[in-house]
A = this chain, B = another copy of it.
Amino acid sequence: MQFILFHTDAAGQARLGRIITPHGEIATPAFAPVGTQATVKALDPRDLHELGAELILSNTYHLYLRPGADVVEEMGGLHRFMGWDGPILTDSGGFQVFSLAERRKVGDEGVEFRSHIDGSRHFFTPEMVIRVQEQLGADIIMVLDECAVPDDRAYNEQALARTHAWAERCRAAQSRDDQALFGIVQGGIFPDLRRRSAKFLVDLDFPGYAIGGLSVGESKEQMYATLDVTVPLLPADKPRYLMGVGAPEDLLEGVARGVDLFDCVLPTRLARNAALLTHTGRINIRNARFERDPAPIEEGCSCYTCRHFSRAYLRHLFKAGEILAARLATIHNVHFLLQLMRDIRAAIAADRFSAFKKAFLADYFHSSQR
């Protein structure tokens, strides 16, 4: 993997770059739609290409449990299995395992957990999640980390020690040279812990750095403040990835602080709940006021859905429980975020990111539609 930094906005930290992977290039700042179970829900690979997605994320925890990493490997790896020939990033499974709460038990060696599918017992170690991610074969893979409650200092101190030890073990366990292994900075909302974590990981010299443990319950202000502390400690010549973040305002705030990569289930999950993104805020298309509305979700939107279908039709599909509802809504929401990233990149290139951000947020939050 290579990372080329083209330009940093004259007025701030927003940066324009490109990540080059064995399966193609990713213009940054980039947003990656999430394909948890080897499919971005309701979309097929052709949809993703047409939407201009250049990177998708898939989840090691889910694929390890079902269909199993050995099945994916035997079927030629994740790219071939899911029919997506572009870049893929897999997480380490750590975040999902730590979200299982009572269903997991962590120790220095690794983390034991019970499957959410059938209750079966499993044990993830740093070495094993690397092995699994090598079987899956993504272009960018992640270290095993422990994601602690963001404002629990004692927990974060303890978790950070493990996260760092695991990062070293993951680095040592890596056997493939065609996958870029990213380190993950943790430390909750505590600036000194974030500094400690960034320093430790940068010393290990990863090809990229993620910022983990955010968007997990802390306030927006705490998230942005943590980015303010953390991002400047990461090397300028490596991509910076803010994990699990995808609300439009957070993408803008992240980019403003020098983040290059984002992923989130937000656009796809909202879509399945009939919540559609527009430049003047979210609308719920099930609302009765759309019953006879011949307009597209958003005037001027160039997505397949907006070019062909009315709000009235989308409302009907949701009310009738039709599968096409999820698909058309997902196409729109993913387009919205990918178009936002294209607009962001154009703004950075023209040194007008700050004005772009301000104008976008003014429209998005001061709408009568919300």
Contact = CB atoms under 8 A, between A and B. Distances in A.
A66 to B, nearest CB: 6
A141 interface: no
A43 B75 contact: no
A236 interface: no
Given A67-B316, A319-B67, A309 B83 contact: yes
B316 A323 contact: no
Contact of A292 (B41, B71, B291): B71
Contact of A75 (B41, B294, B327): B294
How many of chain A's residues touch chain B, expressed as a range? Answer: 35 or more
Contacts of A75: 292, 294, 310, 312-313
Given A71-B312, A83-B308, A66 B319 contact: yes
A225 interface: no
Interface centre among A74, A75, A291, A292 (most CB of B within 10 A): A75
Interface string A293-337: 010000000001000111011011101101110111000000000
Contacts of A2: none
A313 B81 contact: yes
A65 to B, nearest CB: 10
A1 to B, nearest CB: 26
Interface in A36-80: 37-39, 41-46, 62, 66-67, 71, 74-76
A43 B44 CA distance: 12
Nearest to A320: B37
Interface in A71-119: 71, 74-76, 81-83
A308 B71 contact: no
A42 B66 CA distance: 24
A254 to B, nearest CB: 29
Given A67-B291, A76-B294, A43 B324 contact: yes
A256 to B, nearest CB: 35
Given A292-B75, A309-B83, A313-B38, A66 B320 contact: yes
Given A44-B324, A44-B327, A38 B81 contact: no
Interface string A269-310: 000000000000000000000011010000000001000111
B38 A316 contact: yes
Contacts of A62: 320
A324 B42 contact: yes
Nearest to A45: B308
Contacts of A328: 44
Contacts of A45: 308
Contacts of A41: 322-324
A39 to B, nearest CB: 5
Given A44-B324, A67-B291, A323-B42, A81 B37 contact: no
27 contacts: A37-B316, A37-B317, A37-B320, A37-B322, A39-B324, A41-B322, A41-B323, A41-B324, A42-B323, A42-B324, A42-B327, A44-B324, A44-B327, A46-B304, A62-B320, A66-B320, A67-B316, A71-B312, A74-B292, A74-B294, A75-B313, A76-B294, A81-B313, A81-B316, A82-B313, A83-B309, A327-B327
Given A66-B320, A67-B316, 11 more contacts: A42-B327, A67-B312, A67-B315, A67-B319, A74-B292, A75-B313, A81-B312, A83-B309, A83-B313, A323-B323, A323-B326
